[in-house]
Amino acid sequence: MATSSSNSTSRLARPIPFTPKRPHSISISEDHTSTGRLPRATTPSLLGSAKKFKAALSTESRSRLTTKPRSGLSSVPGSPTKDVRPKTPTTPKRGTESPIPFPHVSEMDVSRVDPEEAVVDFQTVEDGDVSAEIDEAALADYGKEDKVLVSIRIRPTNAVSAWQIADTTPKSIKLDPQYCKTSTTTPQDFRFDEILTGSENKPVYNAVARSHVCAAMDGFNAVIFAYGQTASGKTFTLSGDEDQPGIIPRAMKDVFACIRRTPSREYLLRCSYLEIYNETIHDLLAPPSSSVSQPVQIQGTGNNVILTPLREEVVTSLKAVREVLHRGEGNRRTASTDWNERSSRSHSVFRVVIESRERGSGADEGTVPSGRTTPGFRPPTPGGPRLQARGGRSVQTSVLSLIDLAGSEKATSDKERTREGKYINTSLLTLGSVIGTLADNAARNKHDHVPFRNSKLTRMLQPSLAGNARISVICTINPDAGATAETTSTLLFAQRIKKVQLNATKKEVVDTEALLERYRKEIDDLRKRLAEKEAEAPALKRRLSAREQLDESRAMNDLNSRIRQLTKLILTSQTVDENKDNESRPASPTKVDFDMSPYQLQQELLSARRQIDTQATQILSLEAALLARPQLPPDAPDSDKDRLLNEQTKTIRELEIVVRGYEDNLGEPLRAVREDVEREWVEKLQREKRKREEKEAWADELVRQLEKERRARLKLEEERQALAAFVRKFDALGLSAGLPMAVPSKLNPPMPKPGGAAAVFAQRQRSRLQSMDPEPTMSPVAETDSPMRLPAVEPSLLEEEWDAVEDVSFGDDKPFFPIPTKGRKASHSPTRGVLGAKENMPV
């Protein structure tokens, strides 16, 4: 049984019957028709006529409607009641970018809006734009603790609630034991900063959002987001309805209330509205066509997140804010699901960039030149309208983000809804794991990787989740027994995010020029005081005790130190000024408190010195960069450029003369040396060339000789074979037997016996061949010898070929037949003759 608190505070549960309101169909008011505005769902609480805040536009219907002409981007029809009230700038044709300047030139560039004319201060805020007086006591401890403010909002139900709330501090909630899975399980006790029930949005706003809105007005980034299962009341909490305006409209009222309560400052407010649908970021304020064709991109690294192109509307009244909200709501994607007839199908983010500075006395306003701008002319601020630090008044910048997350959900019957649901659940899971890792890192002092980049939502929230924002999370739950699993999951998420450690700081842009002026003035004062003391010193010396004298000299030392410190600060500030656009510039020297005691100043000086030391390297590198810089800036006057050109031409001419002189004095000897070396090398080359040609000729000659030898051998072999055949035939015919036996003499050698001619021939041939060298010998040629100097070679076979044949005889000394020698005609060949006769012989 739920223990609904009957406590008087409206923050706690009240047993009221709950009937979720049915969505109204799109209403077209008379006004819409007449102005040609789009028929769409309106923001009832802000616009008055319509009933529902959330636009009932499905994705399909939205795309259908976006093709129609619309005048939604026209300026807020401002009807200022006071003359002094700044007009909300006409919504221009082109838009602005994210708060961080980005070079991208958007189609919707609104940089022409003069920020000075859109500044809001306590005088220009209208009565109707402010909430009731802010309760200072309720705000007293906002942001004291660097912890996330986590609250639970229980949606009213007609059924019996499955959850029990205990009005303790902090508040706690636990599941009614009867709804636990097993009877032995003890339900977990969840503790949170606030547990809220009921349908009233005011106490919810006061408890979970107001302190964060005020923190944003005070210069801290602040994020408020609603998390919970589908249909649990996130949009109702953030936007509300006609009767119960939600956090966003109430926050904007408080923004103007804060401005009114702060007469010392003036403000520039810029609003943007975007949604993350199926992992694509859409600018809800951009003209529909450009929003579809140009989705918003997340750029930058680490905690530096730049959204571009993102339209930012400068607003000066609640009316302008209403218009912006109305336009954005109309463009949001909602659809009917199994659980919520008008479920948000995207995460929506409404952001207000708040820039403020001290109000000027008038002396440093546009009428009097600040020393930086020409009176009467203000160039468009790069990246859209930005408040400029002027006359020593630094600009404080903060961003208030109000986020309505899409609801986690179970599978649905609709295909399109299932696809959306997948994206929604994935990004919520990533948010869960990012927060889990952050909480773990904070609890165990670890630095584990945080998967910010796993979804657009977490990447966009990275700077805030990483610590540089005050965060308030409102987790909405459905108390029905049928939703205990989803509710438990939401409570676990809420518990995890409670552990995330924050460390939000203010961002201030300092006007360094004015700061330097302040330092210079102080130095002058200190010098005067020092001079006075020095003048008094001799008289004092006589009057004061030793100890007092010591104190006095210490005081003078302190004055001297302070002067040195300020002089150094001036130098550092000048470096800061030079690097104004550099994000990594050194910490602003504004931290010095000029009313400190000499001792404190000395301590301050020590730490400043340490800081200066670390910056010394930076200054050195800057000096190097300065030296490397072109001598003239691009916008230098033409006369200066001409002068520099002339000087450089003169230098070039001088250099040419020096080069020519060098050539004249040293050129000739160098040329002579070069020619000598060249000549020597040419001769060497020619010698080598000749040597090579001789060697080639010698090699050719050798080849020729060898070829000749080979041919002669072949011929000799043929002759030998023919002769051998003839001798064998001769013997076979027995012709040798009938030959007259002469007395062997030198002229008449003994005739061989029949059948012995062949043997004798063979014997002689053998011995002849044995005596012959198998290869012609050549004496080796020394490398240094000319290849043409051929060695004394043994008589060549060519020369003796016919002599060898002549030796073919049957006797020892005489040839048996006269054998033709070289040059004789073949017809006289004895072999032929013998054979010829033989052939005619009768057998």
Ligand X SMILES: Nc1ncnc2c1ncn2[C@@H]1O[C@H](COP(=O)(O)OP(=O)(O)OP(=O)(O)O)[C@@H](O)[C@H]1O
Q: Confirm if 124 and 316 have CB atoms less than 8 A apart.
A: yes
Q: Which stretch binds ligand X (CB under 6 A): 85-93, 113-121, 223-231, 374-382?
A: 223-231
Under DSSP, the state recorded for 393 is: B
Residue 384 identity: G
Closest CA to 353 of 308, 303, 398: 398
Binding residues for ligand X restricted to 182-211, rule: CB under 6 A: 199
The answer to the question of residue 231 lying near ligand X (CB under 6 A) is: yes
The answer to the question of residue 151 lying near ligand X (CB under 6 A) is: no
Burial class, 491, CB count within 10 angstroms (exposed 0-12 / middle 13-18 / buried 19+): buried
Binding residues for ligand X restricted to 15-44, rule: CB under 6 A: 20-21
Residue 194: count of CB within 10 angstroms of its CB: 20
Q: Smaller CB distance to ligand X: residue 231 or 247?
A: 231
| Minimal distance, residue 41 CB to ligand X, in Å | 12
Residue 752: count of CB within 10 angstroms of its CB: 18
Q: Smaller CB distance to ligand X: residue 406 or 469?
A: 406
The answer to the question of residue 156 lying near ligand X (CB under 6 A) is: yes
| Minimal distance, residue 613 CB to ligand X, in Å | 55
**Would you say 228 is a known binding-site residue?**
yes
What region does 492 belong to: left with phi over 0, alpha with psi -120 to 50, or beta? alpha
Q: Smaller CB distance to ligand X: residue 76 or 406?
A: 406
Q: Which stretch binds ligand X (CB under 6 A): 234-242, 455-463, 569-577, 798-806?
A: 234-242
Q: Confirm if 263 and 513 have CB atoms less than 8 A apart.
A: no
| Minimal distance, residue 417 CB to ligand X, in Å | 10
Angle 351-357-363 (CA atoms, 0-180°, nearest 5)?
145
Q: Which stretch binds ligand X (CB under 6 A): 339-347, 387-395, 612-620, 692-700?
A: 339-347
The answer to the question of residue 245 lying near ligand X (CB under 6 A) is: no
Question: 395-404 and 507-509: which strand pairing?
Answer: antiparallel
Cα separation values, 331 from 25, 40, 285, Å:
16, 9, 8
Q: Which stretch binds ligand X (CB under 6 A): 161-169, 224-232, 543-551, 732-740?
A: 224-232
Closest CA to 90 of 72, 102, 77: 77
| Minimal distance, residue 469 CB to ligand X, in Å | 23
Q: Confirm if 25 and 199 have CB atoms less than 8 A apart.
A: no
What residue spans of 194-350 are helical by DSSP H?
201-208, 210-217, 234-238, 247-261, 288-293, 318-330
**Would you say 232 is a known binding-site residue?**
yes
The answer to the question of residue 490 lying near ligand X (CB under 6 A) is: no
Q: Which stretch binds ligand X (CB under 6 A): 231-239, 439-447, 572-580, 787-795?
A: 231-239
Q: Among 236, 452, 726, 761, indicate the residue that binds ligand X (CB under 6 A).
A: 236
The answer to the question of residue 235 lying near ligand X (CB under 6 A) is: yes
The answer to the question of residue 406 lying near ligand X (CB under 6 A) is: yes
| Minimal distance, residue 45 CB to ligand X, in Å | 12
**Would you say 290 is a known binding-site residue?**
no
| Minimal distance, residue 403 CB to ligand X, in Å | 12
Q: What's the distance, Cα to Cα, between the start and end of the chain in Å?
A: 153
Q: Among 210, 212, 234, 333, indicate the residue that binds ligand X (CB under 6 A).
A: 234
Q: Confirm if 510 and 394 have CB atoms less than 8 A apart.
A: yes
**Would you say 230 is a known binding-site residue?**
yes
Contact string 120-139 vs ligand X (x = CB under 6 A): --------------------
Q: Among 11, 40, 155, 470, indicate the residue that binds ligand X (CB under 6 A).
A: 155
Q: How far apart are CA 198 and CA 4, in angstroms?
A: 10
- Cα Rg of the chain (Å, integer): 55
| Minimal distance, residue 246 CB to ligand X, in Å | 9
Q: Among 4, 5, 157, 343, indicate the residue that binds ligand X (CB under 6 A).
A: 343
Tokens read off for 49: 């006529």
Residue 356: count of CB within 10 angstroms of its CB: 27
Q: Among 44, 89, 95, 233, indicate the residue that binds ligand X (CB under 6 A).
A: 233
Q: Confirm if 398 and 388 have CB atoms less than 8 A apart.
A: no
Q: Which stretch binds ligand X (CB under 6 A): 233-241, 441-449, 694-702, 730-738?
A: 233-241
Tokens read off for 252: 């904007």
**Would you say 233 is a known binding-site residue?**
yes
The answer to the question of residue 232 lying near ligand X (CB under 6 A) is: yes
The answer to the question of residue 421 lying near ligand X (CB under 6 A) is: no
Q: Confirm if 58 and 332 have CB atoms less than 8 A apart.
A: no
What contacts 518, CB < 8 A, 6 or more positions away?
392
Q: Smaller CB distance to ligand X: residue 204 or 515?
A: 204
Which residues in this chain contact ligand X in the complex, by CB under 6 A? 20-21, 155-156, 199, 228, 230-236, 340, 343-344, 406-407, 476
Binding site residues for ATP, as ranges? 228-235
